A and B are shown apart, each in its own frame.
Chain A
Amino acid sequence: MRFFPARRCAAIAFAGVGFLGGCSGETDPEPAAVPQHAWAPSPPPMYDGELCDVPEGAIVAAPRVSRDTGTIERVSNGGEYVVTCMPSPDPIPLNDMFTMEVRVASADGSCAAEDVSALSVSAWMPDHAHGLNVKPRIEPLGDGRFTVSGMRLHMPGYWQVYLDAMQNGIVERTQFDVWFE
């Protein structure tokens, strides 16, 4: 089972906006709007509890996905970070192991993401009230980059994948959604 193309009724949903690039000298020519206040509410979750067919070609929620590269990009729920995630294999397989290359960048472009000392990764099925049956391994690579391995979304349905970045004891969550029909 695969998500994307949408004919299979499985998709990643992205609720936030962000920018590609980061601290290595690559800059986004038109950075997306950055929340001015850390507590500004982020866009509401797309999922409304009704699992439905996803029309062909439709992306369930907002955009910022590169179908070519499979890059997932989101602003964290508190607006502090832009998190870029590249799953492999891409698309994320159902009930099979996959890895993710994760990069955490400061949303204000100050490149402070190297201070992100730890990343926790988990996933949750809100409809079933359970999470993963595996424990992902996270390897810090420095400069806000992490390799996450040992991930497996073992059931069809709606998943939320959580990336929790810690900086000086304060953790901020970034999340994206995955549907498997």
Chain B
Amino acid sequence: MRTLVPILALCFAVLVVRVGEAEDRAYFGRYGFSIEGLASPVGAAFLPDGRVLIVSAFDPEIRAFSADGLVDRGWASARVVRPRIARAAGIASTRTGTVFVLDRGAPRVLIFDADATPLASFGEFGWREGQFVQPGAIAVDDAHIYVADTGNHRIQIFTHDGVFVRTVGAYGTEVGSFIHPGGVALDAAGMMYVSDTENDRVQVLGADGSGGRAWGVRGSFRGLLASPRGIALDGDLVLVADSRNHRVQAFERTGWAVSAWGLHALLPREGEGKLETPVSVAVSWDGTRAAVCEPIENRCQVFLRLEPGDQPEQREPGEESPTTHYGPRAAAGERILFLTSPDTQSIEVYDTSRAEPILISSFGGHGPEYGRFRRITGLAYDQASRTLYIGDGAARRLQTFRIDHAPGEPPRFRPTMASLVRAIDFEVYQRSVPALQGMPVIEPGAIALSPVGDVLVADARSGGVYVFDSKFTFMHRLERDDGEGTTAPCVSDLAVRESDGMIAVVDPIAAVVRFVRSDGEHVRSVSIAGAQDGMVCAPFGASFAPDGSLYLTDEAGCRVVRVSPENGAIGGWGAAGQGRGEMWRPKGVAMDSPDRLIVLDFGNHRGQMFSLDGTFVQAFGARLFVLPTRDQRPIR
């Protein structure tokens, strides 16, 4: 007891000191203002004079705003950036005002001086040093450029002249390795802080990769992380855009969580401190403001320091997300629908034979074991064998599940409905297939099934499409052969026409659908125009209808486009909004019967069902997001 008392006293003293420290600090978390009307903003950077520059995925220009959020036409927004930014991924600036923009679509770094004059660019698509695959974030210090080369699972370092210096990291779960790093920041001592997105942690390394340490595991409690993305330093704190927890967390550099702000919206488009999947965070040079970008909501919110008495609105430990989330992928069979839950990385199974879809099973969940997922990136369902194919790009796996539910069977929730049959572990598999040896490890994205039972898997890294037979014997690879284009190869979805095996390959960056015969012969490419002149089109999901036409979702244009392999684009419907037939960042699309199309209205946290002529049938999903389709009035 005599020894216990001083120990307890010491612990109490430490606790008091920590609480005292916390109270002395003015953390970010006070809502300032929103910059709305952007086109999927992915990165913000402050200039030394307080202006903020924003790049958006669906906007080829750089937008500038004054310190209070007003449009500033004095920077690059008044000029046309040449060459156009294909699909921006991030932006960073130095204290002298030099600006660096990261382009994911045509992988490169663009450099501008303080007057927005283009100075240089460097980089290209690939796996070698100095090349990028789907780069996701950029940071700079006085001497170097640090690029989160997300698709290559590494950080690449360059001089300000674009001269390659070194890479740090490779795919893996050990400290010093990454899975899809989605953010990078530097401190004055030259230490790198990396958001190791799919490992759900932050890593701290020297610029040469030495001295690595990490904090964070997946979860929603304070201090835990779920797909951390953007990262920035705020004095001696580290701010992390904790994307799937819909908040920003502040950590001490030891990894001790000290503050958090953000809470998922309850209503469509709700902001003013509410956050929806924030992907980047930036702090102004004077330390007074923090900009947080939410691509799903087409906005950036600017936060200020808390003032005495302020309580940042945040999710309490263990509190569930207040609304239904659907991930980007959908698959369907005869009156059965499979959706993903990105927060939990589980599959939700719905019976669609009744008036409204009924949840009848849920399985999977986040984890490294077989039967679970790091990040679900592809879905396809074979009705005949009742087999669901699930791609997991982050785990480099394809898994198949048998679904024990027959059409017409009374809907009843059964957690054991799905049984894992097989998994391909591509890293190991490719070593045993001579034709695939030495090639980058396949990271499955979109999946499709051919009428003869072949399995088509789009590689999220290379943009190639690999074809396997039903027993996973590798057959051949479909290459992009239409002149390659200037953008990086990218496939958001695949579909196969039942009647003749015609394959549709959707390229969201080039805004093209490539139609390919089953033997790999390229038939034609159909370019999808923006919903209006000058607007970007970003096709995502695809599904063939029985009449042979292809239904596509356009993320940027918030619509469904109908395309014929023979006649090109032949119609469509939809607009941005919350009402019937209106959408917000639509993604996956599937057919659960010959005459009904299910569109995953991703940004509205709901699905919508349409007849094939575009007539609205019904919506399902988060109640407050479905409501606008019922009374025809927006809820706000």
A binds B: yes
Instruction: Determine the distance from Cα of A45 to Cα of B420 in the docked complex, in whole angstroms.
Output: 12
Whether A120 lies near B416 (C-beta < 8 A) is: no
Q: Which of these, B362, B385, B416, B428, contacts A169 with CB under 8 Å? A: B428
The 8 A CB mask of A158-173 against B (1 = contact, 0 = none) is 0010101010111111
A50 to B416, CA, bound (A): 11
Which of A51-59, A103-111, A124-132, A148-156 is near enough to bind chain B? Answer: A124-132
Chain A 85-115 against B: per-residue CB contact (8 Å), 1 yes, 0 no? 0000000000000000000000000000000
Q: Are A175 and B419 in contact (CB under 8 A)?
A: yes
Q: Are B416 and A172 in contact (CB-based, < 8 A)?
A: no
Does B432 make an interface contact (CB < 8 A)? Answer: yes
Residues of A within 8 A of B402 (CB): 41-42, 77
Contact B370 A120 (CB under 8 A): yes
A41 contacts across to B, CB distance below 8 A:
385-386, 402
Please indicate the chain A residues that have their CB under 8 angstroms from the CB of B370 in the complex.
120, 122, 162, 164, 171, 173
Q: From residue B346, how far is it (CB to closest CB) to chain A in Å?
A: 8
Q: Which of B367, B414, B472 contacts A170 (CB 8 A)?
A: B472
In the bound complex, do residue B419 and residue A166 qualify as a contact, i.e. CB atoms below 8 Å apart? Answer: no
* Residues of A contacting B432 in the complex (Cβ-Cβ under 8 angstroms): 168-169
Tell me which of A44, A127, A169 contacts B430 (CB under 8 A). A169
Interface flags for A18-45 (1: CB within 8 Å of B; 0: not) read 0000000000000000000011011011
Which B residues touch A168, using CB under 8 A? 428-429, 432
B113 within 8 Å of A (CB atoms): no
**Closest CB in chain A relative to B2 CB, distance in Å:** 37
- A49 proximity list for chain B (CB < 8 A): 412-416
Determine the residue in chain A with the shortest Cβ distance to B400: A78
- Answer whether residue A48 sits at the interface, using C-beta atoms and an 8 A cutoff: yes
**Contact flags B435-479 to A (C-beta < 8 A → 1, else 0):** 000000000000000000000000000000000001110000000
Q: Which residues of B contact A166 (CB under 8 A)?
A: 425, 428
**Interface residue? B421 (CB, 8 A):** yes
Residue B422 CB within 8 A of the other chain: yes
In the complex where A41-B402, A124-B371 touch, is A77 in contact with B427 (Cβ < 8 A)? no
Q: Which residues of B contact A173 (CB under 8 A)?
A: 370-371, 419-423
The size class of the interface chain B forms with chain A is 20 to 34
Does B236 reach chain A (CB closer than 8 Å)?
no
Across-interface contacts of B430 in A (CB, < 8 A): 169
- Residue of A126, A164, A170, A171 touching B416 (CB-CB under 8 A): A126
**Distance A160 CA – B362 CA, assembled complex (angstroms):** 15
User: In the complex, what residue of chain B is closest to A126 when comparing beta carbons?
Assistant: B415
Closest CB in chain A relative to B467 CB, distance in Å: 16
List of A residues within 8 angstroms of B367 by Cβ: 131
- In the assembled complex, the Cα of A66 lies from the Cα of B429 at a distance in Å of 36
In the complex, chain B residues whose CB is within 8 Å of the CB of A120:
369-370
Output the nearest chain B residue to A77 by Cβ-Cβ distance.
Answer: B421
The minimal Cβ–Cβ distance linking A162 to chain B, given in whole angstroms, is 7
Is B471 a contact of A38 with CB atoms below 8 Å?
yes
Q: Flag if A170 contacts B424 (CB, 8 Å).
A: yes
Residue contact B424 to A39, C-beta cutoff 8 Å: no
Q: Which residue of the partner chain, among A48, A77, A126, A170, contacts B420 with CB atoms under 8 Å?
A: A77
Q: Is the CB of A45 within 8 A of B416?
A: yes
Residue of B nearest to A43 (CB): B404
| Complex CA–CA separation, A145 to B463 (angstroms) | 40
Are A47's CB and B416's CB within 8 A?
Answer: yes
Q: Is B268 an interface residue (CB 8 A)?
A: no
Distance A45 CA – B370 CA, assembled complex (angstroms): 19
Chain A, residue nearest B406 (CB): A44
Q: How far is the CB of B390 from chain A (nearest CB, A)?
A: 13
Chain A neighbourhood of B428, CB < 8 A: 166, 168-169
22 contacts between A and B (CB under 8 A): A38-B470, A39-B421, A42-B402, A42-B419, A45-B419, A49-B414, A49-B416, A77-B402, A78-B422, A126-B415, A131-B369, A164-B423, A168-B428, A168-B432, A169-B428, A169-B429, A170-B422, A170-B424, A170-B472, A171-B422, A173-B371, A173-B423
Given A39-B387, A78-B421, A171-B423, 5 more pairs with CB closer than 8 A:
A48-B414, A77-B422, A122-B369, A162-B371, A173-B371
Give chain A's interface residues, CB within 8 Å of chain B. Answer: 38-39, 41-42, 44-45, 47-49, 77-78, 120, 122, 124, 126-127, 129, 131, 160, 162, 164, 166, 168-173, 175
